Amino acid sequence: MKLQKPILTFLLALPGLFSPAVFGQTGSPTKTLNNASLQDVITYALLNKPGVKQSLIDEEIGERDIKSALSGWFPQINGTASYNNNLKQQVNQLDINGQTQIITFGTKQTSALTLQADQQFLNAGLIQASKASKFYRQQYKQNTESSKINTVVAVTKAYYDILTSREQLNIINENIARLQKQLKDAHAQYDAGLADKTDYQRAQISVSNSQADKKRTEELMKYKYAYLKQQIGYAPDAAFSLNFSNSNMENEILMDTTQTEVYANRIEYRLLQTQKQLQHLNTSYNKWTYLPTIAGFVNYNWNYMNNSFSNLYDRNYPSSVFGLTMKLPIFQGTKRTQEIRKSELQEKRLDLDLINTRNQINTQYEQAMATYKANLNDWKTAHENVDISRQVYTTIKLQYDEGIKTYLDLMTSETDLRTAQLNYLNSLYNLLSSKIDVQQALGTITVNQ
């Protein structure tokens, strides 16, 4: 038994042709963020956050899906092999010159190798894949953009939250320093017999409460740093520090409040528009199914026949066929008509989704802008209250030192000052957060790779 050399070579090469290629992947070392600014943190997040990376991988997966769907336009080449052992061969009775003869058809052993190439010329599914590929790529990119925008919003708010807490710690430290001085003064007055013990005890309680506030704020700062690390995809145990030297939150609060919403700027609206375009293509595809499917093929066959298995591959009886096929769907029980109607209804539903989304964008914008304006007024009021509270505290402190005001008046004014300072910081953070919400509602937050 001998297998012809070209066929043997072809069969041995098949596994190598279809085996998947393996490529080594080397990950780049993770950058360490030390003394990082807000822009540094955002840039790191856009490159390293798992959610953003997943969106980019989804883009690559989508590209593979598109190429897989479009590969149907290329020739489809298949090889098949068969072997048959005719245990009972077919026989027939023939009458030749008045004599009956028994004829046995075929041989005991048969084998065949076939190489066939098929080519699609007209196919509704492939036409749809070609036209939809652009919109699918657009949809994948828009999903990535949406993920990046949400990342920028979350990271910016988390950064400002840490900055606010840091300023809050500074205020608490200043408050503790004032209270400790008051405690020292009250103790000195008590020792000198100029004041009773209650002033000293009240000062001690105030110092303890402020130190407890400081401890609480420091512990919350650890969580806020961990939260920011999570938002940017940073290793929890890696060194991490922020640069606040050039971070003046007051410089970031103002914005143009005369801007109006443009629906096309919102990534959510553009995603719906892309979905509508894809749905329209799906409707067209259901109409294209009335078209025939036209394909061509060509094959080459190696046929082997012999009564002896050992001599089966000694001689080849080749054959080859070229042809065209056309399949015309005539009646499918109204399935195509129902699919067309369903797809048209889905288009109408997406139109309503677009209307609803426009209404939601408008409501979100009005809410964000109203919140921003209210927070801006709160911030201005809080800013004024800080100045007034500081003046009141300074005046009462002088009056207390001269014995005009009681220690209770001094503690009240100090509490008012601390409350005003903390309210100012909270209003500042709320103002910055609402400004980001307005920018998101307007669709003016842009991301760059």
The CA distance from 284 to 301, in Å, is 40
Start-end of H helices in 71-192: 124-191
Q: What is the pLDDT of residue 323?
A: 95
* Inter-residue contact 282 to 343 (CB < 8 Å): yes
Residues in the chain predicted with pLDDT less than 50, given as ranges, are: 1-29, 449
Q: Please tell me the predicted confidence (pLDDT) of residue 319.
A: 94
Find all residues with CB under 8 Å of 206, minimum gap 6, and list them: 179, 182, 183, 411, 414
- State pTM to two decimals: 0.81
Q: Three-state DSSP class for 95?
A: strand
Q: How far apart are CA 260 and CA 33, in angstroms?
A: 37
Q: Contact 327/292 with Cβ under 8 angstroms?
A: yes
Model pLDDT for residues 292-337, shown as the tens digit of each residue: 999 999 999 999 999 888 899 999 999 999 999 999 988 888 989 9
CB neighbours (10 Å) of residue 294?
15
